[in-house]
Amino acid sequence: MTRAPVLDAATASGPMQSRYALLINPFYPKDPNASFGKHVLTPTLALTSFAATTPEHWEVRYWDENLLDGRPPFVPMPEVVGITVHLTFAKRAFELAHWYRSRGSKVVLGGLHVLSCPEECAPYADALAVGDGVQLWPSILADAESGRLRPKYTAAYESDYRQDPAPRRSMLPRKSFLTTTSLIATRGCHNRCGFCYLATDGLRMPYRMRDPGQIAAEFAADGQPYAVFVDNNLGSNRAYLRALCQALRPLNKIWSAAVSIDVTDDPSLIRIMALAGCTGVFVGFESLTDQNLADARKKTPKAGDYGRRVRMLHEHGIQVNGSFVLGFDHDRKDVFARTADWIEENRLECVTFHILTPYPATPLFRQMEAEGRLLHREWALYDTAHAVFRPKNMSLEELEQGYTWMYQRLFSHASIWRRRPADWRAVAPYLAMSYLYKRSNRFWRLLIKHHLVQFAWRPLVELTRLRHVRFREELAASERLTRPGAGVVAAGV
């Protein structure tokens, strides 16, 4: 889980197959503090979305090195290799690119690191895809086929999102993921936090939405009981979220999504989400200090009101996975214990921690660079698990040790028990999820290697779905009883 498959320089390549494209998601080392199973909850949508735009006369194959099936295939040798590049696995992406290019394949690099650091990526590619790859991929293949591949292709994120085809999920190894139904209904976010990749220079991503009916149809077509929305913020447009929930409600399935905590400004919307099958939300709380939130330019309610808003979600059967960033300029050594206490007090079912990381070409990176606080540009360590800058009010060692301590405490048996749901009916599924997700790192390699991920998760998912269906029935019944005139109808019955 920490070392990439070996690329043997002496290995001979197979014969070149024209009109064959291989799409690769490179290996990256897993953080030993977090769950090793995190990356197999859902597949990346980028490569399957590109595959959906591949012309019919081209063969296309998907390969994710993180599924532990070894290095990507090379017999036959693909004519075109598309590799997604993130700064934390840029070195591995470049190794793959060099290996395939040296054997005659045309390599196309895309992804956020290509956008933020194109000069660094260009020497390793025959072509760079900068921006919306769904628009670019068909043109890239056409030019490769005719021998006119250009060094750079650029597209903005401003097309009609409703025209994008559904991702090609049929090419995914279904047994290797919790669910292959990763969905994206919207692009963008109403926040532009200074540390977020959405604030990258040159990335203009207006909030775009697909028709709710399209999303419901994709969910139904994949045949899975559970879906994960990978939108940056599904709740940025509340009117849209309402319409989406109305489309999802008849499916009797369950789903989770990332939202900002201000979605709880409207309690009726939380009820609609629950009735539509929402069982969990990922919330970027980031910090419990208002000054940190203001410095990050995050539009959010006051941190003092977070607890009430979490209770509102819990009352509607929605679990909360809270995300916290450590190392802001107003954080001192007490931030670790203070945050851990708050998480346990408010019974967050799951938590994710990140050391503040200045991604290249973001406002935070420019600030840290101007202040001389960046320690290096070893991108593999820009993984939110290592401190790559000088903190203001603690030492580098204290920040990294505090990050490790947070996971050790919140993943402990005692903390898992303290954070159990108040509703006794939800305790057993919560404990099963917590122990499988958080305390099973020694088993995850075997589950992934032997394609047992869905087998391990599926009973828990179905139990959760059935429990939530019953909860929704109770919620809907109470909704009917509270409508004007409901008492008269009930008395008549």
Contact 22, 82 (CB under 8 A): yes
pLDDT of 489 above 70: no
Encoded amino acid at 262, one letter:
D
Q: Which CATH class is domain 173-368+404-475?
A: alpha beta
Is the CATH code 3.40.50.280 the one for domain 16-155?
yes
Q: What is the pLDDT of residue 486?
A: 44
pTM of the model: 0.91
* CA proximity to 130, closest of 361, 396, 325: 361
H or E element in which residue 61 lies = strand 59-64
Give per-residue pLDDT as tens, 340-383: 999 999 999 999 999 999 998 888 999 999 999 999 999 999 99
Rg from Cα positions in the chain: 23
> How buried is residue 378: exposed, middle or buried, by Cβ count under 10 Å (0-12/13-18/19+)?
exposed
Peptide bond preceding 212 in cis form (omega within 30 of 0): no
Stronger pLDDT, 446 or 198, i.e. the higher one: 446
pLDDT digits (tens, 9 = 90+) for 56-86: 999 999 999 999 999 999 999 999 999 999 9
Cα 87 from Cα 208, distance rounded (Å): 26
Sorted by sequence, the CB contacts under 8 Å of residue 252 that are 6+ apart come out as 277, 469
Residue 190: per-residue pLDDT = 63
In angstroms, rounded to a whole number, what is the distance separating the alpha carbons of residues 61 and 135? 19
Lowest mean pLDDT among 99-113, 158-172, 446-460: 158-172
Q: How many other CB atoms are found less than 10 A from the CB of residue 299? A: 13
Sheet containing 106-110: order of strands: 59-64, 16-25, 77-84, 106-110, 127-131, 152-155
> 207-211, 256-260, 332-336 — which is least confidently predicted?
207-211
194: confidence class by pLDDT, cuts 50, 70, 90: low
- Give the domain ranges of the chain: 16-155, 173-368+404-475
Are 474 and 274 in contact by the 8 Å Cβ rule? The answer is no
> Strands 106-110 and 127-131: what pairing?
parallel
Both tokens assigned to 400: 């990294």
Do 16-155 and 173-368+404-475 share a fold?
A: no
The answer to whether 24 and 72 are in contact (CB under 8 A) is yes
DSSP letter string over 163-228? GSPPP-GGGS-GGGSS-S-EE--EE--S---TTSGGG-TT-----EE--HHHHHHHHHHTT-SEEE
- Cβ within 8 Å of residue 25, ≥6 positions away: 44, 47, 62, 63, 64, 65, 66, 84
Residues sharing a CB contact under 8 Å with residue 55, sequence separation 6 or more, in sequence order: 138, 141, 142
Least confident of 68-82, 93-107, 185-199: 185-199
Q: How far apart are CA 246 and CA 240, in angstroms?
A: 10
Place of tokens 């202040």: 371
| Six token digits for residue 482 | 């509270």
Strand partners, 77: 16
Identify the band that residue 250 occupies on the pLDDT scale cut at 50, 70 and 90. Answer: very high
Q: Facing residues of 352 across strands?
A: 323
CA distance 330 to 293: 10
- The CA-based angle 252-258-263, given to 5 degrees, is 90
- Of 25-29, 137-141, 142-146, 438-442, the one with minimum mean pLDDT is 438-442
3-state secondary structure 72-124: CCCCCEEEEEEEECCHHHHHHHHHHHHHHHCCCCEEEEECHHHHHCHHHHHHH
256: three-class secondary structure by DSSP: strand
Torsion of CA 410, 38, 196, 81, to 10 degrees: 160
Q: Is the pLDDT of residue 187 over 90?
A: no
Averaged pLDDT for residues 447-463: 93
Q: For residues 311 and 115, what is the distance between their CA atoms, to the nearest angstrom?
A: 40
